[in-house]
Amino acid sequence: MSTSSNIAIIFKDKTAQAIYCHNDGYLEHNGLILAAFYHDLDKVKKLFSLGDLSSLSIFVDPTTNEKHDFNHRQNDVCVAYHRDRGDKLNQRVYQRKEDLFDSIHEDYNYVYKESTEKWYLYKNKKLLSLNDLILNNVQEKNVYIDYRQYLIEVRLRKEKEKILKENKKIITHIDLNESITKSRIFKI
């Protein structure tokens, strides 16, 4: 059984957009990922460009050197119905933020406000700070610490892989130069 959620953005002009996420909508997963990894407006907009999601993850785009689709998923990459399964692009657009609030009825409704550049949980007709919910709730806080450590390790692993790939040519070039230098030393 899945825990679905809505993920929405309210723009400065008070219009709004929302996408649906089918899996792991609870605070300890989608809430945590949004708060920890989607604080940059450009990345948030990129997430919304995917349309409805099967699952939210740390990265919006897959790496180019591995296959990624609905049946062959890369680790830590969002799975989108349109991009990864070929479904019709589904994004709900609202002319007024009130229309957004009237239309969302999932257990977890996450809202990013462009004006504050912060995430909120819409619950009982109120916007609650997502960071405060994660950090102040004692039960959630323990999970957050464990999850945050995991997410930090994943992020570091991905960054390390990226750096190693980018520097592979440089390292090869340095190794070649060291060999040349050693050859010159032996020739002298």
**Residues with Cβ within 8 Å of residue 11, at least 6 apart in sequence:** 17, 114
Whole-angstrom CA distances from 56 to 7, 126, 149 are 10, 23, 18
- Per the structure block, which two tokens stand in for 5? 């959620």
47: nearest Cα among 9, 10, 16, 84:
9
Which residue type, as a one-letter code, is found at position 30? N
Place of tokens 């130069």: 177
Instruction: Specify the pairing of strand 108-113 against strand 118-123.
Output: antiparallel
pTM over 0.85, yes/no: no
Average pLDDT, rounded, for the chain:
80
42-66 pLDDT, tens digit per residue, is 999 999 999 999 999 999 999 877 8
The Cα–Cα gap between 116 and 11 comes to 10
* pLDDT over 90 percentage in the chain: 48
Q: Taking the mean position of all CA atoms in its chain, how far away is CA 97?
A: 23
- Per the structure block, which two tokens stand in for 132? 């405060």
Task: Tell me what pLDDT residue 116 has.
Answer: 94
138-153 pLDDT, tens digit per residue, is 354 555 455 556 556 6
Place of tokens 């919910």: 133
7-35 pLDDT, tens digit per residue, is 999 999 999 999 999 999 998 889 989 98
Q: Mean of the pLDDT values across residues 84-97?
A: 93
Place of tokens 């002319």: 95
Local structure of residue 63 (DSSP, 8 states): P
Q: Mean of the pLDDT values across residues 116-126?
A: 93
Question: Cα angle vertex 55, ends 134, 139, to 5°?
Answer: 20
**Residues with Cβ within 8 Å of residue 87, at least 6 apart in sequence:** 52, 81
